[in-house]
Structure 1
């Protein structure tokens, strides 16, 4: 079950079965995000790829993190979120993918 809480973007923090993502390891959180990926209500939501990007960033998976941040930015309709997510993608170590 997907639950909402007071924090996060737009007042929604994502939790699964009453558990927030903040109290789990990156590997456990990745499993929780996989559970959420099948929920049609989150199909185009930028928060899911942004959360994945953060987990990959924590694990040092820069290419995957960059791609996920860029995906999240492309899904967002909020200009401030787009700027933040694009900046996160560009701030990761290594060469960014070529533009275009």
Structure 2
């Protein structure tokens, strides 16, 4: 029996019915969970989008809030400076 272990979709589960019913049932349960996860992801994405539109938010406002909030944050600035310093030091050590 040659079974690809990363196959867990509906087509693979249905194809497995003739070979091994227990494996087919397990694969169908996994496929059902993947399908439910995809459906819930779409629902949540639509909810976030509708909330975004209701608040009157725009991409320009988001950019402005990001630049005012994150880029002026001292913790963010020091973390970015440390990361850049570490990257520069490791680059110099390799050469």
- Normalising by structure 1, we get a TM-score of 0.28
Q: Rg larger in 1 or in 2?
A: 2
Task: Please identify which structure carries the higher strand content.
Answer: 1
- Structure richer in helix, relative to its length: 2
